[in-house]
């Protein structure tokens, strides 16, 4: 592997490793904030609902916040997954485990990268066990948010 290509791979790995960390921090900070607000809403549920006007406003805010939070967290986790795939592909190439080489630039998740790197990313993603990849943390995070949403909704509107 030419030295300049190795340097490029190292640069991609460092950049996307940092990007991965940033996206992960944003996603989990938003999740913690959402879960905290949902816990508060669940604990204070019955006292939050008052007049019909207040109930309508609360319903709109609850729906808008839920949709926004889920969309933001899912978006950050998707970006994190792409960065993890790129870092894993770089690691695969730097370790000399990639098969085949393509000099043509290719796109992966909307990002133009060296073809060899994109091929390594695809190999890495195919080799990864389902439960060991970044998707598992996405599922657990979004499932926790969904559970808190359901409990908050039931507590506020069904007053159980």
Q: Where are the domains of the chain?
A: 3-158
Of the pLDDT bands very low, low, confident and very high (cuts 50, 70, 90), residue 101 is low
pLDDT at 89 over 70: yes
**Bigger pLDDT: 132 vs 73:** 73
Tokens 């970044």 correspond to 134
**Bigger pLDDT: 39 vs 53:** 39
Question: How large a percentage of the chain has pLDDT more than 90?
Answer: 54
CB 152 within 8 A of CB 42: yes
Supply the pLDDT for residue 71. Answer: 97
Neighbours of 24 (CB within 10 A): 18
What 3-state DSSP class applies to 68? helix
Mean pLDDT, rounded, for 33-60: 84
**Bigger pLDDT: 95 vs 79:** 79
pTM of the model: 0.81
CB 107 within 8 A of CB 119: no
For residue 61, is it left (φ>0), alpha (ψ between -120 and 50) or beta? alpha
CB 86 within 8 A of CB 121: yes
pLDDT at 119 over 80: yes
For residue range 50-86, list pLDDT tens digits in order.
777 777 888 898 899 999 999 999 999 999 999 999 9
CA-wise closest residue to 134 among 91, 97, 79:
79
Of the pLDDT bands very low, low, confident and very high (cuts 50, 70, 90), residue 41 is confident
């Amino acid at each position: 592997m030419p030295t300049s290509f190795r340097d490029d791979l190292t640069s991609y790995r460092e950049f996307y490793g940092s990007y991965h960390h940033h996206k992960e921090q944003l996603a989990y900070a938003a999740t913690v904030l959402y879960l905290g607000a949902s816990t508060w809403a669940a604990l204070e549920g019955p006292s939050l609902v008052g007049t019909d006007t207040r109930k309508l406003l609360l319903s709109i805010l609850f729906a808008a916040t839920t949709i926004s939070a889920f969309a933001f967290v899912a978006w950050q986790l998707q970006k994190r997954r792409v960065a993890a795939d790129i870092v894993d592909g770089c690691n695969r190439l730097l370790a000399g485990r990639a098969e085949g080489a393509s000099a043509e630039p290719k796109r992966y998740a909307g990002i133009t990268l060296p073809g060899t790197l994109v091929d390594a990313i695809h190999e890495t993603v195919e080799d990864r066990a389902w439960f060991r990849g970044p998707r598992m943390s996405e599922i657990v995070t979004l499932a926790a948010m969904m559970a808190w949403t359901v409990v908050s909704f039931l507590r506020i509107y069904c007053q159980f």
